[in-house]
Amino acid sequence: MDLEALNGLLRPKSIAVVGASNKEGKIGYTVVRNLLISQYRGTIYPINPTESVIQGLQAYPSVLDVPGTIDAAVITVPAKLVPAVTEECGKKGVKGLIIIASGFSEVGRHDLEQQVVDIAQRYGVRVLGPNIVGILSNSDLCNASFAPFLPLAGKAALVSQSGALLIAMDASTYTRRVGFDKMVSIGNMSDVDFADTVEWLDQDEATACISLYIEGLRNGRAFMHAALKAAKPIVALKAGVSAHGAAAAASHTGSLAGSGKIYDAAFQQGGVVRAADLNNLFDRTLALSLQPPMQGENMLIITNGGGVGVLATDAAERYGIPLRFAPDDVQTELKKHMPEFGSAKNPVDLTGMAGRDWYYASVRYAFAHPWVDGLAVLYCETAITDPLEIADGIKQALDDAGVKDKPVVVSFVGGEQSDAARKWLVENGVPAYDAPDVAVNALAALREYARSRQLASEVFQRYADVDEATARAIIANARAHHNHSLTEIESKKIFRAYGMPVALTEMAQTEDEAVQLAEQIGYPIVMKIMSHDILHKSDAGGVKVNIKNAEGVREAFRTIIANAKAYKPDAIIEGVAVQEMAPWGTEVIVGSVDDPTFGPSVMFGLGGIFVEILKDVTFRVAPVSADQSFKMLEEIKAGAILAGARGEAPRDRRALAEVLSRYSQMITDLSDEIAESDANPVLVYAEGQGAKVVDARIILKK
């Protein structure tokens, strides 16, 4: 990262406003006014070709006439003038451009946008935008935007691809009481993108949590890389479900991928916490910016009401941190701070009689107890207690517990008093919400963050025993014959070169040859049509299984050829594959796509209706370690079937995970060649007995 230039852009010590104006209503007027109102302490240079004074400040005809240095130039002139202004800024040595002007790629003018970026790059100038609102920073008292005011001060930073949404979120920071230090509008991302801003915000002292509103990433891998490297929590709201490539996809995997699932996977792999919607983005940002991650699974709920306790318990299950009963010593101690009819299990119900003292004693004890990994303190307003007093008791208890490495969230349900108590708690660093499920969801975000950091730390170890050269030779041979979809035999050779267990398969051109091969391999055998023109062999009547003798082989050979000719008269038939008949096993599918945003990605699912109807599949951006692959097997809804449901013997998931991992290496190594591929099905056997690829397909890039 170009730290120096990005510092100039995002924490400028001097700002030129190109297109600065005295006319109210113009953006060039608003930006200057906002800089003045926000009490920006750096130097402001209004640039205007005719006026010598703008809003009381000395103005200059061009940036080239400015006596001092300029860190950032906010560009508010019409799009067609921006290339010339960029040229001048380059000559002046401006570090970064904040191009508010619109009329670029968002309206199809990619050429104009590229022209601006080209000029800027020639001078080493970074470009934020175009088509943005600007940047806002509380710690710099800098509102270099046309958003009306700086956000409520706090520790989060927002990066938004949507300008309108940024303005709306800016205003709602006050009503929602979620504080931000910075807001950055990145618009068309012609140069500075999410990866750059994440990397920069990670080293920004005023930022504790990076909050993203994403419509589409430009370079998915760069983003994942930046996210993985970041030491601060990142929470992202991804809008717009990707339909990339779904229509054009020839395989199952392609059509299943077009549903945002690869974004889900990439975020998880990059350690990025997801937000489900805008409310959730605020709620999770609040917790992530104020509290440490939740390192273990044990959440304790302390409440004064059974109702909110049950709601919180449901939410805990829904958001992936199901409750466990507190251990005996915890229960015994907590029993001392509640009436006889209270409950010390989990949720801990102090009852409606609970006042400041009971809250104080139980929170203080529980927060310090090693069993507790995260605490949710719930309160329902009652006639006999004062919310502000309770809030004060909770805060005091947290401080006195002296624990800094575990998180707490609070929910106060009630009226104005509770609202005031929540406000006070947030101002004192405790994330407080108006509903128990929302508080639990926020705690779940802190748990997800810790979990995904653990996951993200697992590195992929390459398999050294692979034969990439053989794989590439097979591909080169197919290309030489102008074939883009490899036959099953070719595909299986490549799979085998990557160390995957493949059913023994040979090519026969004649009946006699087929019989000979069948006898070598041993009955029963399977026979299949081999043609670059037939992708789905069964559809063409091109698969015969369980052939037991020479007579069967001859008959199958003739039938398969005849069926294929009837199915597709102009198909060029390479021959008929003769292969070992693998014993019955659980059928699973392994697939890959070359995602336009994230590149080679793997898919896993169970075969048959699980994929066809239920679309029960999971994705990862490749490559994936065997351990990560194992998690994929557990992740699908039908995962229990592999684990050994209903008295069935568990399947060999270790072997299958290795197949997935090797497969992910194959599509990564050969990503310049492979567009899509799959192994459909892979048969998985009982534990210790491995897995076998019985059908394989590779489609090359055009």
Site residues (vs ligand ADP, CB under 6 A): 503, 526, 528, 536-538, 543, 545, 579, 581-582, 680-681, 694-695
The binder of 80, among ligand ADP, Mg ion, none, by C-beta within 5 to 8 A per type, is none
In the complex, the smallest distance separating the C-beta of residue 493 from ligand ADP, rounded to whole angstroms, is 15
Q: Which two tokens stand for residue 130?
A: 């175009």
Residue with Cβ nearer Mg ion (253 or 291): 253
The binder of 537, among Mg ion, ligand ADP, none, by C-beta within 5 to 8 A per type, is ligand ADP
Residue with Cβ nearer ligand ADP (89 or 578): 578
Q: CA-based Rg of the chain, rounded to a whole angstrom?
A: 31
Rounded to whole angstroms, the Cα distance separating 575 from 592 reads: 27
Residue with Cβ nearer Mg ion (448 or 695): 695
C-alpha torsion sign, points 437, 442, 443, 448: positive
Residue with Cβ nearer Mg ion (272 or 589): 589
Rounded to whole angstroms, the Cα distance separating 9 from 12 reads: 6
Q: Which two tokens stand for residue 680?
A: 């459909």
Residue with Cβ nearer ligand ADP (72 or 582): 582
C-alpha torsion sign, points 237, 240, 243, 244: negative
The binder of 579, among Mg ion, ligand ADP, none, by C-beta within 5 to 8 A per type, is ligand ADP
The angle at the Cα of 144, spanning 20 to 169, to the nearest 5 degrees, equals: 130
3-class state of residue 390 by DSSP: helix
The binder of 694, among Mg ion, ligand ADP, none, by C-beta within 5 to 8 A per type, is ligand ADP
Residue with Cβ nearer Mg ion (609 or 640): 609
DSSP 235-295: EEEE-S---TTTTT--SHHHHHHTTTHHHHHHHHHTTPEE-SSHHHHHHHHHHHHHS----
Residue with Cβ nearer ligand ADP (290 or 581): 581
Rounded to 10 deg, the angle between the 163-176 and 278-290 helix axes is 60
First to last CA, the chain: 34
In the complex, the smallest distance separating the C-beta of residue 693 from ligand ADP, rounded to whole angstroms, is 9
The binder of 518, among Mg ion, ligand ADP, none, by C-beta within 5 to 8 A per type, is none
Q: Which two tokens stand for residue 43?
A: 């130097």
Instruction: Tell me which long-range contacts 505-510 makes (C-beta under 8 A, separation of at least 24).
Output: 505/577, 505/578, 505/579, 505/580, 506/577, 506/578, 506/579, 507/574, 507/575, 507/576, 507/577, 507/578, 508/557, 508/575, 508/576, 508/577, 508/578, 509/575
In the complex, the smallest distance separating the C-beta of residue 695 from ligand ADP, rounded to whole angstroms, is 3
The binder of 655, among ligand ADP, Mg ion, none, by C-beta within 5 to 8 A per type, is none
Residue with Cβ nearer ligand ADP (217 or 553): 553
The binder of 564, among ligand ADP, Mg ion, none, by C-beta within 5 to 8 A per type, is none
DSSP 397: H
Residue with Cβ nearer ligand ADP (244 or 537): 537
In the complex, the smallest distance separating the C-beta of residue 536 from Mg ion, rounded to whole angstroms, is 7
DSSP 215-243: S--S-HHHHHHHHHH-SS-EEEEE-S---
In the complex, the smallest distance separating the C-beta of residue 683 from ligand ADP, rounded to whole angstroms, is 7
- CB crowding 626-646: b at 16 or more within 10 Å, else e: bebbbbbbebbebbebbeeee
In the complex, the smallest distance separating the C-beta of residue 262 from ligand ADP, rounded to whole angstroms, is 24
Count of helix runs (H) and strand runs (E) in the chain? 24, 29
| Greatest extent of the chain over all pairs of C-alpha atoms, in Å | 99
Q: Which residue is nearest to Mg ion (CB)?
A: 695
DSSP 555: H
Residue with Cβ nearer ligand ADP (374 or 605): 605
**CB-based contacts of 614, cutoff 8 Å, min separation 6:** 637, 638
Alpha helices in 323-435 (DSSP H): 328-335, 356-368, 387-401, 416-427
The binder of 581, among Mg ion, ligand ADP, none, by C-beta within 5 to 8 A per type, is ligand ADP
- CB crowding 30-41: b at 16 or more within 10 Å, else e: bbbbbbeebebe
The binder of 308, among Mg ion, ligand ADP, none, by C-beta within 5 to 8 A per type, is none
Cis peptide before 322 (omega within 30 of 0): no
User: Residue 620 forms beta bridges with which residues?
Assistant: 602
Interacting residue ranges for Mg ion, rule: CB under 5 A: 680, 695
Residue with Cβ nearer ligand ADP (214 or 530): 530
Residue with Cβ nearer ligand ADP (348 or 529): 529
In the complex, the smallest distance separating the C-beta of residue 600 from ligand ADP, rounded to whole angstroms, is 22
Residue with Cβ nearer ligand ADP (454 or 538): 538
